[in-house]
Structure 1
């Protein structure tokens, strides 16, 4: 039912509600609903999990709301073990399309496809009567060990934010709300409800919050979900700086902040911080809030503000309902196949081993349980009961009907005796060996991080063994994130599907046999060894504190700065064709803080088959004022090209996306000077570049005070002249004497005041020098404000 009610009428409802009713309004009802107020005719909302599929638990949603069993019921979902099989893992969950997981979908770099995912999820939510889908998840994939990295999109915030915004728009334009999560720095599952993510402010702003801000600015999600962890020693659900000062005051967000399930530890503190909705229902937390309001610890104004936000959300969601909606699951299965096919990444293709040509093959040996029991998703709250599942082995046989195809498990090669002999003989006789490899099933997921980056169950060793006796071994990977590949130099080809959803089996077969040209590219860096991971030395933390020691140098930023060669770089992916880049132009040679610059360049398909290329634009500052990454992603485009075809590609970049954050000035700033735009096929394959000049304030590298060394004043002529004029006037110096004084000051390692006092005595007091430096900082700040 719709709920047509004006803002004035909503405000009137608040005046009619008792304190108990208001407390109920900002609290969950059961596991998945908001409370309905029948006295005031306020309807409820239904929400459920799903970042890549709708997980609708019949018992939990349609059954009795037994508060005593809620936590046990919730934990049964969180601890879902996919290794036990679909039926036991999902119970009576309603079937829904299991689309490619976040780590897979993002490799498509396709915003239109991400929007289609949002549309499809909305259609299934409408069919199930769900108003809010708890996703997408946009935490940065800081470490490939992280348990929930399979849900998240990338190690880069720009790519993450753009994909999330497209998914959210697809959902919400079709009447279903999104919940952008987990806010913020939920980058590990190790002691996730007590661990504090200790992150310096620059890294927090530029990396970990940037994807959230970008998604909010571009798509305005109806809700944002606070995370379980602490952030810089404050529980995120109770962090006023995060939820009010940043999210609302700086970013202008006016939607509902909802807690992660049982993520609130101090309900009054969370309400004061800006966490509106406490999920799921908790009698003790409701009582805590009621007592706090009655005692004045939480003001009625604060409670009313959250109530009004939730009432507006109820109106928005109820008016988006499509009565009698039906979902086309066959259509969505086809979409799942297409998404998986667009997202598969070809990492190696020695001597054009792929695609396979059935007419030239007599025998194929398929190895690995994942060929018959495909690993399509991670475990935990995001798990979806698929409507159907494409089996890779079956799909391979469909595409090569005249080829003898046999199948063996990893165990066959370890059994000894006749079983092992038969399996090895099959490998020796095969024209190609297709090895379906995977990480540990049922362990990778919510609640625990991976312990290593190896494949599961002796698979690495077996790949080495088989590739030593057979030149054409093709490895197909189903993994949540990056893995190490000690066998990479010895196999013919490597495909990575990540967790590709229910249509991955068909998509993989299409890529193997060439009916689909692979076009996916990595959204994370693959390390050679686990020790190469940024932050490795401080992972996973101790004493309930996890220090993000790499700072702003996350992912490819770290590998570039260290000049460390990865196994495969960010943005990398091969094709069955080749592409040439040429004729780069920019529409401006100079930019400032208000500019939008357009880069245009040609891409030509120089191969013999149609394909898609993902072009990436990076920005490289020449002389940054503060430490910055070598290059950072600032734009991208996916282009479809027929053989021999050339297309002109345009990518627009806003100056706001070229800024860095200065914690001392507490502002986003542009670096003055030269900036090079790099156009590449990956972060390590730059094809074209063009340098422009940036007009911005020339600031000292730090805010000046009496203890600052004098050379900091002389970094910029503006400050130098102001300091010279001050000394000349206060010390009554001639021009020549003033210049000598500056020359003397420039070589001093003492603070500014002590240096001047050494020569001039106490003529200028410390307080007076401090006042001058404050005014200089402000004057430079005014220049900064005008430039920005």
Structure 2
């Protein structure tokens, strides 16, 4: 019945029993939707991913017996990406692409789209129809355990890169699940601790990336988060899932829960969560009982079934539009994405690139050169079919041209470590250049586990500090889930941030070290100089089940700008082996007015001697805004490839929302400022060009006046003051001049309007007359 295209979805729903409806809206096992054979409704297979397809044969192919489902689920969530005990034994090999923390640094739509295409091909090959991602929660704090999965601290990057990846998947027949909606920013008691966020911060920061991605790519599904938002579970939050997602944004796809995120199944369905994953017999029983007793509206259940059936039909209609999965080609793509995304943080005295022809001896230090940390831990962990070992890729460049030596990270007692460091420094004295591989302390990050420190492995800090005193050409290669503290930064000439680079990271590192790839990644999240500088640090991780987002909309660089705090490296920072000039900034609008858009054009020139790519960032800075706003905010970006001496003009389009803020008193987006400064920048702290554009603001709608409104507030409005003067003249039968004197006498009162008049005038003016006057003012009847 269902697979007959001539049969309407409404007719299928009408033919379903209550039990079948509950089955349809619940998972079957861990990774499937329910099949209803009587109506010819098939099961849909889904799995985790978006930096790699994680297909577990034991969990997906072994059937739908849920007796050990929870145990298998916990094994997935708690797996350690560095565990050598066979965690990948039942997971099919797949391409492990760079994680979100590094992809975000690419600022590259095309690469992200191509990654989506490759993931779609691997999904088709494995029989997967829905890939659970991308994850775009705002990287509010670098301590967050799942920060490695997410792109950025800024909603523009989050939304645009997510849209590119979703389009790469869905254009090629695989559904995406935009997650985790919303405010999944800590793993500490993550299913119970409420993310308490002001509506303005939600609208401008935490929801804005989702809104942008949905508008640009229409993901087939959106996944709700584990945590409560302002005291209500995300999966049961009607304001979030219905008012914002569906009514404000017009989203018409399917909402799926995060795995076991639903606590009250009837409440979650009423709020807007159609598909409850994975299968839970108790939750199915809850929903069936609520349906039978009338606790939940049947129309809501039928509407949810309609969305579910639409989703299934969409999956069935999708066909592969890319060639079969070529893992070798995908490995090459993983290498390219990593190389295009790594961020050269520092490069004093042009230490990089290394020249194989002039290096007699190269010393490589650190365990990460032999056993690289390519990905984070948790449900997204992928079984890489191949891994580039950094030391092997460096050795391939040696090829008899220079001597390569490797020494491990020191381990053991303090005395043993000190002796090892002395030996490393001795070997470094004989080398022409030294490369140190460093990473954060393991076991302190990943799903279910926030970091409690920004430190790298302590012995590595000691090694780097010691080597800085003996090696002129010292390069630190960092792999980490997010920012780390670098106490040795001032003494080290070169540092390369790799984040979690995926299976091709080793080759990408070698390409950059030896100048085969000009680094062109830029930071998509600010790197603080110390843990105490993190925005919201004073309220992290919350108390008594509530986590107050105390910095409001001042997230990331917005906070550092507001507080004039110098970060270790600012948002948008990244060096190149060449240099770029910014020229001829022009705006095609003489003013910014309500509903208006504008185009920003400038020229970028490669002023260096080698080809390179520059990430141009457009920021908008309001002058005298109506409410307090961030000093500047990213609104557009582009990655431009240029040959030496080449110049190219690039144009950015800015729309009405790029100039507005969300006014909670009006419940809408508002344009209010004297002017806007449009800035073209190489980072949030490297503004190259700027242009001021006047603004014609929307008329300010004052709060409604009541009898208790301060008299000073009412008389601050000139038209209202004249109306009050005329009112006093009429009610007291005095001249205009006498009424004006009375009005001026009461102008400075902070008391309520009615009480002030009573105090100065007595009972000559009744309360009813005051209420009518204020009603006229509120309705715009000035007379």
TM-score bucket of the superposed structures, by smaller chain: over 0.9
C-alpha displacement of 1:625? 1.2
Q: TM-score, normalised by structure 1?
A: 0.95
- Relative to structure 1, is the Cα distance of residues 777 and 680 closer, same or farther in structure 2, using a 3 angstrom cutoff? farther
Please name the residue that 2:680 is paired with.
679
Please name the residue that 1:328 is paired with.
326
Alpha-carbon displacement from aligned partner over 1:296-316 (angstroms, at most 9, x marks no partner) = 111111110100100000000
C-alpha displacement of 1:235? 0.8
Q: Equivalent residues in 2 for 1:174-213 (5 A)? A: 174-213=172-211
- Relative to structure 1, is the Cα distance of residues 620 and 597 closer, same or farther in structure 2, using a 3 angstrom cutoff? same
C-alpha displacement of 1:537? 0.7
C-alpha displacement of 1:758? 3.1
1:89 to 2:90 alignment:
no
C-alpha displacement of 1:727? 5.5
SS in 2 for 1:692: strand
Please name the residue that 2:659 is paired with.
658
- Relative to structure 1, is the Cα distance of residues 17 and 362 closer, same or farther in structure 2, using a 3 angstrom cutoff? same
1:32 to 2:20 alignment:
no
Q: Which moved more, 1:623-632 or 1:144-153?
A: 623-632
Please name the residue that 2:9 is paired with.
10
Please name the residue that 1:368 is paired with.
366
Q: Equivalent residues in 2 for 1:59-74 (5 A)? A: 59-74=58-73
Alpha-carbon displacement from aligned partner over 1:197-250 (angstroms, at most 9, x marks no partner) = 111111111111111111111111111111110111111111111111111111
SS in 2 for 1:647: strand
SS in 2 for 1:159: helix
Please name the residue that 1:50 is paired with.
49
1:635 to 2:633 alignment:
no
- Relative to structure 1, is the Cα distance of residues 431 and 314 closer, same or farther in structure 2, using a 3 angstrom cutoff? same
C-alpha displacement of 1:672? 3.8
User: Does the 8 Å CA contact 1:119/1:171 hold for their aligned counterparts?
Assistant: yes
Task: State how far apart, in whole Å, the 1-side matches of 2:336 and 2:726 are.
Answer: 68
Residue in structure 1 matching 2:119, options 118, 121, 125 = 121
Please name the residue that 2:77 is paired with.
78
User: Does the 8 Å CA contact 2:603/2:649 hold for their aligned counterparts?
Assistant: yes
Task: State how far apart, in whole Å, the 1-side matches of 2:718 and 2:585 are.
Answer: 35
Please name the residue that 1:668 is paired with.
669
Q: Which moved more, 1:394-403 or 1:155-164?
A: 394-403
Q: Equivalent residues in 2 for 1:580-729 (5 A)? A: 580-699=581-700, 702=703, 704-713=705-714
Q: Equivalent residues in 2 for 1:107-256 (5 A)? A: 107-256=105-254
SS in 1 for 2:63: coil
Please name the residue that 2:442 is paired with.
441
Alpha-carbon displacement from aligned partner over 1:477-522 (angstroms, at most 9, x marks no partner) = 1011111111100101010011011111111111111111111111
C-alpha displacement of 1:420? 5.4
Q: Which moved more, 1:495-504 or 1:433-442?
A: 433-442
Residue in structure 2 matching 1:261, options 254, 259, 262 = 259
Please name the residue that 2:484 is paired with.
483
User: Does the 8 Å CA contact 1:139/1:186 hold for their aligned counterparts?
Assistant: yes
- Relative to structure 1, is the Cα distance of residues 29 and 425 closer, same or farther in structure 2, using a 3 angstrom cutoff? same
User: Does the 8 Å CA contact 2:135/2:149 hold for their aligned counterparts?
Assistant: yes
User: Does the 8 Å CA contact 1:626/1:701 hold for their aligned counterparts?
Assistant: no
Please name the residue that 1:377 is paired with.
375
Please name the residue that 1:525 is paired with.
526
C-alpha displacement of 1:629? 0.8
Unaligned runs of 5+ in 2: none
Task: State how far apart, in whole Å, the 1-side matches of 2:339 and 2:777 are.
Answer: 58
Task: State how far apart, in whole Å, the 2-side matches of 1:457 and 1:423 are.
Answer: 16
User: Does the 8 Å CA contact 1:612/1:638 hold for their aligned counterparts?
Assistant: yes
Task: State how far apart, in whole Å, the 1-side matches of 2:168 and 2:51 are.
Answer: 13
User: Does the 8 Å CA contact 2:172/2:321 hold for their aligned counterparts?
Assistant: no
Task: State how far apart, in whole Å, the 2-side matches of 1:596 and 1:372 are.
Answer: 52
- Relative to structure 1, is the Cα distance of residues 258 and 454 closer, same or farther in structure 2, using a 3 angstrom cutoff? same
Please name the residue that 1:785 is paired with.
none
Please name the residue that 1:784 is paired with.
none
Q: Which moved more, 1:55-64 or 1:451-460?
A: 451-460
- Relative to structure 1, is the Cα distance of residues 27 and 517 closer, same or farther in structure 2, using a 3 angstrom cutoff? same
Please name the residue that 1:783 is paired with.
none
Q: Equivalent residues in 2 for 1:174-573 (5 A)? A: 174-322=172-320, 326-401=324-399, 402-411=401-410, 415=416, 422-573=423-574
C-alpha displacement of 1:770? 5.1
Unaligned runs of 5+ in 1: 781-788
Equivalenced residues, count: 778
C-alpha displacement of 1:744? 3.6
C-alpha displacement of 1:740? 3.9
C-alpha displacement of 1:777? 4.8
